[in-house]
Each structure stands twice: as C-alpha cells, then as structure tokens.
Amino acid sequence: MKKLHFCYGHRLPGNSGKCSTLHGHNAVVEVHATPLATSENQNLAELNSQGMVIDFSVIKEKIGSWIDEHWDHTTILAEQDVETVQLLRQCPGVKNPFLLPGNPTAENLANYLLHVVCPRELKRTGIVVHKIVFWETDSCFAEESLDPYSESARNYYE
C-alpha cells in the first residue's frame, strides 16, 4: 500500500451544509495493489522476481504524478457546477479546475482513481489496484474496491 498526500479545494453544490461553499482539504490517498492474475494463472497472482507486488516508486511516479498534475492545489468541481467553473476561469493566475462527472465527494474521487486513473496509468505493469482509500480529513474517508481476480480487473490492466 502506498500513501499519497495532496491539497485540493472543492465544493458540493446542493449540499445543505458547509460543503456547498468553496473549501479545501489535505487529502491522503491509499493505493492498494496486488499482482495481476492473468487468464493463465487465474487466481495465482505472484510477486515479482524481487519478492514485491511492485516497487512503490512506480505507484508514486505514475499515480502520484497524475495527482500532482491534475488535483494537487487544484479546485475539483462537478462538471455541472457551471457558474463556479466560469468564476474560477476568470481569476488570473488560478489553475483551471478539474471537472469530475459527479460531485467531488471523497466517494466519487476514490471511484475515479480506482476505475479511471489507476487502470490508465498502471496498465501492463503486472499489478491491479484493488482498493483506494481516500482520506478527506484525518477522521473521514471513503473506500472504493474491486475484485482483483475478476475478468473486469484483468481487462482494465492487461
């Protein structure tokens, strides 16, 4: 498991509480990986020749770099939050917001990492990311997981 840290801002339109206003978090993402089971070795996923699932530096390089480029010190907004997107794009020196298909909740961010970012960035590395734990604060997290031995997991990563 590799932990990645970053800062981001967001808001949750339609939320009846404080989260409807722009605010920020110091997030921690846990990336849980296991060796990829291929169609030949079905459930017999193996460690690499060095006795590891993967060198943690690969996860840092691939997923950490993606987070640094797209989410770190960025405002993450729902695609439908048109007014806030337009407002931020008018501010000089402000990084363009990252647009998510749904509200930028911890649950949706974990889901996006697990099902979009990790498969794209770690395809053909011999691993499958089977769980993302997205810590929005020190005491609040969301978890998204998939069966690493499923056909869909193999399709994501082969």
The one-letter amino acid at 8? Y
139/41: higher pLDDT: 139
Please, which pLDDT band fits residue 8 given cuts at 50, 70 and 90? very high
At residue 58, the pLDDT reads 83
Asked whether the beta carbons of 105 and 114 are under 8 A apart, the reply is no
Say which of 19, 25, 30, 115 is annotated catalytic.
Answer: 19
| Number of other residues whose CB lies within 10 A of the CB of residue 138 | 8
Say which of 10, 118, 130, 136 is annotated catalytic.
Answer: 136
Tokens 């797209």 correspond to: 70
What is the Cα Rg of the chain in Å?
17
Would you call 144 a catalytic residue per the annotation? no
Would you call 7 a catalytic residue per the annotation? no
Whole-prediction pTM value?
Answer: 0.91
Would you call 73 a catalytic residue per the annotation? yes
Domains, the chain, with CATH or none? 2-12+24-157 (3.30.479.10)
pLDDT digits (tens, 9 = 90+) for 107-147: 999 999 999 999 999 998 888 999 999 999 999 999 999 99
Say which of 23, 61, 73, 79 is annotated catalytic.
Answer: 73
**Which span out of 93-97, 141-145, 153-157 was modeled with the highest average pLDDT?**
141-145
Structure tokens at 21: 């206003």
